[in-house]
Amino acid sequence: MTGTVNIAVVGLNFGASFVPSYKHHPQVGEVTICDFNQHLVSQVGERWDITKRAHSLQEVLDDPDIDAVHLLTNITGHADQAVAVLEAGKHCAVAVPMALTMEDVARIVAAQEKSRKVYMLAETVIFTRNFLFVQQLLKTGQMGNIQFMRGAHYQDMDGWPSYWKGMPPMYYATHALAPAFAATGSRAKRVVCFGSGKMREQLHEPYGNPHPMQTALFQMEDGTLAEVTRTLFHNPRGYTEAFTIGGDNITFETGQLDADRPVMWSYKDDGVFDPDMKLTTYTTMGREVTEERIDPPDQLHLIPEPIHKYTRSHTLTSLRDPEDVFEYTTIGGFHPHLVHEFINAAAGQRTPEFDIYRAADLTAACLAAHDSAMADGSDTVIREFLPIS
Ligand SMILES: NC(=O)c1ccc[n+]([C@@H]2O[C@H](COP(=O)([O-])OP(=O)(O)OC[C@H]3O[C@@H](n4cnc5c(N)ncnc54)[C@H](O)[C@@H]3O)[C@@H](O)[C@H]2O)c1
Question: Which atom of ligand 1 has the smallest separation from the CA of 77?
Answer: 28
Nearest to 309 by CA among 11, 16, 25, 7: 25
- Tell me the domain boundaries of the chain: 5-124+301-353, 126-298+363-381
Q: Facing residues of 327 across strands?
A: 315
- Homologous superfamily, domain 126-298+363-381: Dihydrodipicolinate Reductase; domain 2 (3.30.360.10)
Q: Determine the Cα angle at 306 with ends 302 and 309, to 5°.
A: 80
CA 147 to centroid of ligand 1, rounded, Å? 36
* CA 38 – CA 68 distance, rounded (Å): 22
* CA 210 – CA 207 distance, rounded (Å): 9
Indicate the fold that domain 5-124+301-353 takes in CATH: Rossmann fold (3.40.50)
Nearest to 79 by CA among 56, 61, 95: 95
Residue nearest ligand 1's atom 27 by CA: 73
CA 274 to centroid of ligand 1, rounded, Å? 54
Q: What region, left, alpha or beta, does residue 160 occupy, with left being phi > 0 and alpha being psi -120 to 50 degrees? A: beta
Question: What distances in angstroms separate CA 258 from CA 155, 204, 235, 238, one per listed residue?
Answer: 12, 29, 16, 8
Question: Which atom of ligand 1 has the smallest separation from the CA of 78?
Answer: 41
Cα of 368 vs its chain's centroid, Å? 18
From 9, 10, 12, 14, the mutation candidate for ligand 1 (largest count of ligand atoms within 8 A of CB) is: 14
Q: Is the peptide bond before 97 cis (omega within 30 degrees of 0)?
A: yes
* CA 99 – CA 71 distance, rounded (Å): 13
* CA 6 – CA 346 distance, rounded (Å): 10
From 19, 74, 165, the mutation candidate for ligand 1 (largest count of ligand atoms within 8 A of CB) is: 74
From 9, 18, 35, 37, the mutation candidate for ligand 1 (largest count of ligand atoms within 8 A of CB) is: 35
* CA 245 – CA 136 distance, rounded (Å): 13
**Would you write out the chain's pLDDT as a tens digit for each of its 389 residues?**
457 999 999 999 999 999 999 999 999 999 999 999 999 999 999 999 999 999 999 999 999 999 999 999 999 999 999 999 999 999 999 999 999 999 999 999 999 999 999 999 999 999 999 999 999 999 999 999 999 999 999 999 998 999 999 999 999 999 999 999 999 999 999 999 999 999 999 999 889 999 999 999 999 999 999 999 999 999 999 899 999 999 999 999 999 888 899 999 998 776 666 666 655 444 556 778 899 999 999 999 999 999 999 999 999 999 888 899 999 988 899 999 999 999 999 999 999 999 999 999 999 999 999 999 999 999 999 999 999 87
Give backbone dihedrals phi and psi of 209, rounded to 5 degrees, phi first.
-100, 120
